[in-house]
Structure 1
Amino acid sequence: MAMEMMMVKGIKPKPKKCKCCPTKFTPRNSLQTVCSPKCAIQLANQLSERKQKRQEREQRAAWNKRKADVKPLSHWMNMTQRAFNDYIRARDGEICISCGSAWAISYHAGHYRTTAAASHLRFNEDNVHSQCSACNVHHSGAITQYRFNLIRKIGLERVLALEFDNNPHRYTREELSALRALYRAKLRALIKQREAT
């Protein structure tokens, strides 16, 4: 309508750039966005492909959500534990809190209070430290040395707070997802910081 009014008044419409090719053209009406029928077909195909890709992405997202909804809580617990443990090992480096060895074959994220005894402290950073596999697995955590070195590392007050914390906690899937995202971000930040120095 605006284009027709402009033509009645004798004003020529401004040239436009075609949405498909670099050609400039004078549109016949305000809705015309392409220079020729060939470009119109090409634009329609592009829009159709974009719409199809968007629908595929939405279907994939819906499928992933349905798949995630049926996974048990233990799956989310394991995923979060893996991200948390990776962060702890990166934070502490390859040195055992119990025996102090820096030459072990592998290092674990060893819990001072075990997840069986205090599952609510599973993701408490004060409760988990780098520990050689020998101390963690074969010496049942080497708790006596662990406690001694933990007091030197974080102080008696924080160790006692761990030992007397018996408030049970049940993690939800949303909480575990948030924790996992947090520790993955912390790990990335730690790696970036070390690369910068």
Structure 2
Amino acid sequence: MDGRRTPTTEAGHYKHTSDKVNQTLGGNMVWWDERNLNGQCGRCNRHNSGELDLYGLYLEQKFGHGICQELDRQFRIPKKWSREEAAEVEAKYTALLGGISAPKQ
């Protein structure tokens, strides 16, 4: 290694689920929409506010015309996630991870 930090991929979001829209119900429809979550370098994700203009262009290329409008629409739909729905999400991602462990710090 030459002392430079290796860039890492972070979870970049087009619509941030921590935004306060619909928080009184516990969230919105975009919370578990995987199209909203894509790999992004740390500089863009944290220091450049997600570079949403470029991120939106990327989403259009990856998912097709209108994806940004669809995510915006879903973001505004209030959704109270039930315990059963949360358990289904947990089971889905546990199965997808299938034994992958977190990297050691």
TM over 0.5: yes
Give the superposed CA RMSD.
2.1
2:92 equivalent in structure 1: 182
Rounded Cα–Cα distance in structure 1 between residues aligned with 2:13 and 2:6: 18
Q: Pick closer, same or farther for the CA change 1:171–1:104 going to 2, 3 Å.
A: farther
* 144 and 126 in structure 1: CA distance in 2 versus 1, 3 angstrom threshold: same
Distance 1:157 1:109 in 2: 22
* Counterpart residue number, 2:8: 106
Structure 2 vs 1, CA of residues 169 and 104 (structure 1 numbering), >3 Å: closer, same or farther?
farther
Structure with more helix by fraction: 1
Give the match for residue 173 of structure 1: 83
TM-score normalised according to structure 1 size: 0.40
Letter in 2 for 1:126: R
Work out whether residues 111 and 122 of structure 1, in 8 Å CA contact, stay in contact via their aligned partners in 2. no
In 1, are the aligned partners of 2:10 and 2:42 still within 8 Å (CA)? yes
> Does residue 138 in structure 1 map to residue 47 in structure 2?
yes
TM-score (norm 2): 0.70
Residue by residue over 1:75-132, the C-alpha shift from the partner in whole angstroms, topping out at 9 and shown as x without a partner, is xxxxxxxxxxxxxxxxxxxxxxxxxxxx952222111011123642121111111111
Tell me which of the two structures has the higher relative contact order, counting C-alpha pairs closer than 8 angstroms and 6 or more residues apart.
Answer: 2
- Aligned pair 1:155/2:64, yes or no? yes
What's the offset of the Cα at 1:175? 1.8
Give the structure with higher Rg (CA).
1
C-alpha distance after superposition, 1:151-197 (max 9, x if no partner): 01101133321122211112233321210110121233xx8xxxxxx
Give ranges in structure 2 of 5+ residues lacking alignment.
Answer: 22-26, 101-105
- Which runs of structure 2 are paired with 1:55-134 in the superposition (5 Å)? 105-117=7-19, 119-120=27-28, 121-134=30-43
Q: For this pair of structures, how many residues does the alignment match?
A: 87
Q: What amino acid does structure 1 have at the position aligned with 2:12?
A: G
| Residues 35-84 of structure 1: per-residue CA shift (max 9 Å, x gap) | xxxxxxxxxxxxxxxxxxxxxxxxxxxxxxxxxxxxxxxxxxxxxxxxxx
